[in-house]
Amino acid sequence: MTEKFILALDQGTTSSRAILFNQAGEIHYSYQQEFPQYFPETGWVEHDAEQIWSSILSCIATVLADKHIDASQIAGIGITNQRETTVIWDKNTGKPIYNAIVWQSRQTADICEELKTNGYNDLFRDKTGLLIDAYFSGTKVKWILDNVAGAREKADNGDLLFGTIDTWLIWKLTNGKVHVTDYSNASRTLMYNIYDLQWDAELLDILNVPKSMLPEVKGSSELYGHTDPTCFFGGEVPIAGAAGDQQAALFGQTCFEEGMVKNTYGTGCFMLMNTGSKAVKSKNGLLTTLAWGIDGKVTYALEGSIFVAGSAIQWLRDGMRMIKDSADSELYASRVDSTEGVYVVPAFVGLGTPYWDSEVRGAVFGLTRGTTKEHFIRATLESLCYQTNDVLGAMEADSGIPFKTLRVDGGAVANNFLMQFQSDLLNVPVDRPVINETTALGAAYLAGLAVGFWQSKEEIAAYWKLDHQFEPEMAEVTRKSNYEGWKKAVMAAQIFK
């Protein structure tokens, strides 16, 4: 009998990936392709949505060709994506009217400030679980409609469609037949009521966004449509799962029980806690969001967002040219016993949870004549852990649930120094799974459940396997002193504007 697979399409901030998973939830084959980043002005980050689509097609073609797999062997497709990144296209031509505005981009900061000045912050928070911030899709949609010639008129005439990247890819894969998103992605737009589970007319009116542009919101694990043969190498394959990258990682880490937590170390760093059927309203700068929707029921989560994580290591490599390869950061950081009081605050695009300060910029403190490259690199790595500790404190305060362990994933978790320091700082075990591609795995699981490739969440949970558990080793006095220094550094960075 011909072996069947689930194909996960993982569309990230700097690259796209296609990964084949077998029945045991193991990676059969994967292929990754980077695509260009565009920075038209300071603080702006954009992508070409057509280049994203081309990269996805290239990844699919390579995976199928390299392993001699026919489209008929793909039982289903699951999609996971960089969230909030906004695409608007003409439904008649299929062409985007502007570059995709990336989640990191700050070009709508003025719109956000105006909304806050007009007193809308609590209204948006109460309906969406989010803060008014340039991070989310709603103000990006408004910016494009306000700044692209003719866009507002086309939108009012019903000729434009909006989508986060999942929506764009599903639309392209089905050759324009299906315009949908899932609960997790909709909950990141600043336009979706996470309690009523519908696009919110009042918020759309404030942002001046026509409802006709918006995709239909569906569950995270159900049949959305089939690939058009012209878009998928002759095959009509079910597209049956979708979730934003961080929610997909929570699912891939099998954090199905209330109180379970994962942290993803990617371009940014994102910690999510499953809060079950209850939407916990944060008093400490966390976001309340939808984790997923399955079988007609939604699961909520608390989320802490750190804007700069793995990209800080890329900065050491590409910007500062201190290392030739990202993996070298572990070697250099391990050569010194501490940073000798050096702190790096990597606020390149502001600070997320719990500060939500879009104006603060990156800073370095504690330099002396004795500071070396090793100290600087170590301080940059440690900044990821300090920011995670900030989020942990907020999450424990909001949920009332003390942490017992942290499940981790993302590219940076291969760095043993980073993971050990994280465990030391949090004072809880950090669990790294065998399969680190948990974002793609979550998308695969969601699709596989919908098409019967897997039968239940219990079956999936049994596939999770531990690679290494990092246990805390740091003395309490050192832990406290280090973290106090970090808080001072953040405070000083916020003053310098």
124-157 confidence digits (pLDDT tens) = 999 999 999 898 999 999 999 999 999 999 999 9
Q: Which residue numbers belong to the known binding site for ATP?
A: 13-15, 267, 310, 314, 411
Half-sphere exposure of 497 (CA within 13 A, CB side): 12
What's the pLDDT score for residue 233? 79
Q: Which residue numbers belong to the known binding site for glycerol?
A: 83-84, 135, 245-246
Stated pTM of the model: 0.89
160-188 confidence digits (pLDDT tens) = 999 999 999 999 999 999 999 999 999 99
Q: Which residue numbers belong to the known binding site for sn-glycerol 3-phosphate?
A: 13, 83-84, 135, 245
Whether the predicted pLDDT of 485 surpasses 70: yes
Whether the predicted pLDDT of 409 surpasses 70: yes
pLDDT grade for 235, boundaries at 50, 70 and 90: confident
94-116 confidence digits (pLDDT tens) = 999 999 999 989 999 999 999 99
47-82 confidence digits (pLDDT tens) = 999 999 999 999 999 999 999 998 899 999 999 999
Q: Which residue numbers belong to the known binding site?
A: 13-15, 17, 83-84, 135, 245-246, 267, 310, 314, 411, 415
Q: Which residue numbers belong to the known binding site for ADP?
A: 13, 17, 267, 310, 411, 415
279-332 confidence digits (pLDDT tens) = 999 999 899 999 999 988 999 999 998 989 888 999 999 999 999 988 899 999
Whether the predicted pLDDT of 433 surpasses 90: yes
List of domains in the chain:
5-236 (3.30.420.40), 254-496 (3.30.420.40)
Q: What is the mean pLDDT of residues 455-482?
A: 95
